[in-house]
Chains A and B, each alone.
Chain A
Amino acid sequence: MKQAELEREADAFADRLSELLNGTLCRGLRITAASLPSGYVLVGLGVKKTQVRAQQIPLRGSGARVPLHLTVQYTLHDDDEGEHLMVSSSVLGLCISEDGNRELFHADFERDKADGYPEAHLQVHATSKDWAAFLSDASNDSLNKIHLPAGGRRYRTTLEDMIEFLIAEGAVKPHNGWRDVITKHRADFEERQLRAAIRRNPAVAVAAVVALRSQET
């Protein structure tokens, strides 16, 4: 994929994120992207020529006592065939400080993660006696260092999931019509994932279609 084409795809990706966030929790927010000479594109709030790390997104909490902030940062690249845009890594998180240091949890995705941990995982900042008992036998000594599996490459935790979680738990005040926005964006994500799964497994896809056709006749 040529750089200009990659950037057009990145534009569309970032604009979809802006639409999702502005249609559910935020107003007037614009997600932007920076295209690097290495062929990667960084995406997040405030990303520009002089700032490649995303800023935290402030949220209006339902009680307004906790300064909730959403972490949203994606790294994009083209796929091995150079034909489609793909997410190389993403970090979606929730914290209660503007600098992001008071973190509650985050959902990571890192394609081809080399350290043996799941590509898609959750890391939670919390403590409990039972977790402490488990951790005493594990290789990491605190819960926030444990990589809880979260759906794998195709069905990883999405921004739609994070937003829905915040609303369902009553932590934020959503805009009217938020559910339709989530549904539309989730359907779009799932269709993209399905298309990618079919490209990676054409024989399985063909067999499934043949089976459907035989049922119809």
Chain B
Amino acid sequence: MTHRNVGAFPQNLKGRGNVTKASSRGEKSMSVMDAVRRGPTTVRLSEDDAVRAARLALRDAGYTFDDLVRQAASGDFETIGAQLTWQAVRHIGDPGAE
């Protein structure tokens, strides 16, 4: 399978395995599904991992934890991104500043 046929190539494979290049050369290569099956489906986060991930999520979304608390309390989020970020960080808690 070439990259052209891959509808939604998973971001977490970027830079790993070079699937497209191997396929286009006809070298011994793994199928996309073999590639995507590598590694666990679920990763376990430690407390430190979770805090770091929450900080990154809030930074990427452009909100503070308190911003999202306020939006959640009002029942309305400014964007779907804000809502997705809240659904993720609410179970971690306020990660505070780095």
Contact = CB atoms under 8 A, between A and B. Distances in A.
Interface of A: 3, 7, 10-11, 14-15, 18, 21-22, 25-38, 40-42, 44-46, 48-55, 57-60, 71, 73, 75, 89, 91, 93, 95, 99-101, 103, 106, 108, 115-117, 140, 145, 147
Nearest to B91: A40
A206 to B, nearest CB: 36
A34 B42 contact: yes
A140 B75 CA distance: 10
Interface string B58-90: 001100000000000101100111011101110
B91 A95 contact: no
Interface residues of B, number: 47
Interface string B4-16: 0111111111000
Contacts of A32: 12, 41-43
B96 interface: no
A106 B82 CA distance: 13
A34 B53 contact: yes
A140 B88 CA distance: 26
Interface centre among B40, B52, B81, by most chain A C-beta atoms within 10 angstroms, is B81
A108 B77 CA distance: 12
6 contacts: A29-B9, A51-B56, A52-B50, A54-B84, A89-B87, A147-B75
What is the predominant secondary structure among interface residues of chain A facing chain B? mixed
Given A34-B53, A42-B88, A71-B84, A25 B12 contact: no
Nearest to B51: A37
Interface in B8-64: 8-13, 32-33, 35-37, 40-47, 49-50, 52-54, 56-57, 60-61
A52 B43 contact: no
A21 B53 CA distance: 26
A59 B7 contact: yes
Contacts of B44: 3, 7, 34-35
A46 B8 CA distance: 11
Nearest to A38: B91
A101 B43 CA distance: 28
A101 B13 CA distance: 25
B42 to A, nearest CB: 4
B43 A34 contact: yes
Nearest to A44: B84
A53 B36 contact: no
B41 A48 contact: no
A3 B43 CA distance: 11
B57 to A, nearest CB: 5
A29 to B, nearest CB: 5
